[in-house]
Amino acid sequence: MKYLLVIRHAKAKDIEPFQADFDRPLKKTGISEALEIGKALKDSRILVEKFYVSPAKRTTETAKVIADVLDISKEHIIFQPTIYAAHLNHLLELIHNIPNDISRVALIGHNPAISELVNYFIPSRYATLATCETVLLELSIDDWQQIHEGIAKIVWNRRPTEISS
């Protein structure tokens, strides 16, 4: 059995003039969202062996906050440039290439691809993920190469509570 924890980055600041989208940091509410999700994961005793993360500032910050709460060291966070501006096929290829000795992976990325990934794996349509929404998928496989459409079920799902900016 393999487990994939799919996380959309927390709430980011609006883009400023002359700023690249890639460089947008989290809002204070985004940091609170990530802390809340980290605590919920810890309270639920959800284990993660590796984080695969887009190197964009908002995903990097989301990963660091959650990893800190879960006491996951930096060497277990892998920044994957292909996750930023990814299409569903890029994410599937990344998952295909996860080493099989790893069974519990977190993937932190961006919409629309991160929501498309959840919808690809579950048999029925799921909504678009909100900021920092987290979905734990149980995949009935023993090898990451065996992934295919409709193979998973949602075993845990959490959205951060509404926090005003």
CA 85 and chain centroid, separation: 14
Q: Which CATH class name applies to 2-10+25-46+56-96+111-158?
A: alpha beta
Per-residue pLDDT reduced to its tens digit, 22-44? 999 999 999 999 999 999 999 99
Q: What's the pLDDT score for residue 164?
A: 47
The answer for 85, left when phi > 0, alpha when psi is -120 to 50, beta otherwise, is: left
Residue 163 has pLDDT above 80, yes or no: no
Domain segments of the chain as ranges = 2-10+25-46+56-96+111-158
Per-residue pLDDT reduced to its tens digit, 101-126? 999 999 999 999 999 999 999 988 77
Q: What's the pLDDT score for residue 165?
A: 45
Residue 96 to residues 16, 100, 107, 125, Cα–Cα distance (Å): 36, 10, 13, 22
